């Protein structure tokens, strides 16, 4: 903070400089000075507002911690409960932003499909035997449209180099993929090699929660 003595000294110095400066220049300086004062005023009020907001958040957090203490809920308990939710949220956000894909494969890793591939003949035979699937030749000789009840206008599956893939499947198409994987003695995985084994895994992946144990009998009759 500037003390009174320094202010008086600056004032007298400005007076001396102003005495030898033309009025036009002084008016320009005054305009610029007013702008500086206005900007500083906004900054000051913003700082006050941020400080009040910080104090309010701290007060609310303290009340929350006190309530957790009364309910015998520790911060560690809260973290244990939130962590799977956060992981799932981040996973789904990444899927949306990067063009999430699911694959039907016979190997441990989707990129290692060549070691035990699903052949194009197998895929075409399966499509031919399934009245809900049909090849859409305008998109490729192995590109199939599924006619089931889906949120998408044209849910699709495409065979490529030993795997069957799609993007952004809804729950209905995902269940269809589980059926197809069962018929081909394969599994459904994402690009991080997470296996999707249960009907509920699309929206609530069992691999997110380490406490999930065992497998359920999940497939629908083909």
Same domain, 62 and 106: no
Same domain, 58 and 111: no
Same domain, 120 and 193: yes
Same domain, 132 and 188: yes
pLDDT in tens, 138-182: 999 999 999 999 988 899 999 998 999 999 899 999 999 999 999
- Domain tally for the chain? 2
Cβ-contact 198, 205 below 8 angstroms: no
3-state DSSP of the chain = CCCHHHHHHHHHHHHHHHHCCCHHHHHHHHHHHHHHHHHHHHHHHHHHHHHHHHHHHHHHHHHHHHHHHHCCCCHHHHHHHHHHHHHHHHHHHHHHHHCCEEEEECCCCHHHHHHCCCCHHHHHHHHHHCCCEEECHHHCCCEEEECCCCCCCCCEEEEECCEEEEECCCHHHHHHHHHHHHHCCCEEEECCCCEECCHHHCCCCCCCCCCCCCCCCCCCCC
Tell me whether residue 87 is in a domain: no
Tell me whether residue 210 is in a domain: no
Tell me whether residue 192 is in a domain: yes
Same domain, 107 and 196: yes
Same domain, 124 and 52: no
Tell me whether residue 128 is in a domain: yes
Tell me whether residue 211 is in a domain: no
Same domain, 123 and 58: no
pLDDT in tens, 15-71: 777 788 888 887 888 888 888 888 888 888 888 888 887 888 888 888 888 888 888
Tell me whether residue 92 is in a domain: no
**Model pTM score:** 0.51
Average confidence score pLDDT of the chain: 81
Tell me whether residue 206 is in a domain: no
Return the pLDDT at 210: 45
**Domain that includes residue 42, residue range:** 4-67
Angle at the Cα of 46 (from 42 to 47), degrees rounded to 5?
A: 120
Same domain, 110 and 62: no
Tell me whether residue 28 is in a domain: yes
């Amino acid at each position: 903070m500037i003390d009174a003595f320094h202010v008086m000294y600056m004032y007298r110095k400005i007076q001396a400089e102003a005495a030898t400066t033309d009025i036009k220049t002084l008016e320009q300086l005054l305009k610029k000075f007013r702008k500086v004062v206005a900007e500083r005023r906004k900054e000051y009020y913003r700082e006050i507002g941020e400080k009040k907001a910080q104090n309010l958040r701290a007060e609310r957090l303290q009340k929350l911690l006190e309530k957790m203490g009364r309910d015998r809920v520790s911060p560690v308990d809260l973290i244990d409960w939130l962590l799977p939710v956060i992981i799932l949220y981040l996973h789904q956000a990444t899927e949306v932003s990067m063009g999430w894909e699911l694959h039907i494969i016979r190997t441990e890793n989707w990129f290692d499909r060549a070691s035990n591939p699903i052949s194009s003949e197998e895929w075409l035979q399966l499509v031919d035997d399934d009245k809900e699937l049909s090849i859409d030749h305008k998109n490729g000789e192995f590109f199939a449209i599924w006619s089931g009840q889906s949120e998408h206008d044209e849910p699709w599956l495409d065979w490529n180099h030993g795997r069957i893939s799609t993007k952004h499947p809804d729950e209905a198409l995902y269940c269809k993929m589980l059926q197809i994987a069962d018929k081909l003695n394969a599994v459904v995985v994402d690009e991080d090699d997470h296996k999707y084994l249960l009907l509920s895994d699309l929206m609530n992946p069992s691999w997110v929660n380490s406490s999930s144990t065992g497998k359920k009998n999940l497939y629908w009759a083909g």
